[in-house]
Amino acid sequence: MATKEFKRAARIILVGAPGVGKGTQAERLMKRFPQLSAVSSGDLLRNAVRNKTPLGQEAESHMRSGALVPDDMILRLILSELKSKSWIPPSTSLADAAPALPSSSPSASFILDGFPRTSPQATKLDALIPINLVVSLITPVNIILGRIADRWVHAPSGRVYNTGFNKPKVEGRDDVTGEALTKRDDDGEDTWRARLRKFQETSEPLLEHYERQGVLWRVEGNSSDEISPKLFGEFERRFC
Are the C-beta atoms of 12 and 112 separated by less than 8 Å?
A: yes
Q: Extract the annotated binding site.
A: 19-24, 41, 46, 67-69, 114-117, 121, 151, 160-161, 184, 195, 224
Count the neighbouring beta carbons within 10 Å of the beta carbon of residue 174. Answer: 21
CA distance 35 to 110: 8
Q: Extract the annotated binding site for GTP.
A: 19-24, 151, 160-161, 224
CA distance 180 to 183: 10
Count the neighbouring beta carbons within 10 Å of the beta carbon of residue 104. Answer: 9
- Measured CA to CA in angstroms, residue 8 lies from 11, 64, 69, 153, 209 at distances of 10, 41, 33, 37, 23
Q: Extract the annotated binding site for AMP.
A: 41, 46, 67-69, 114-117, 121, 184, 195
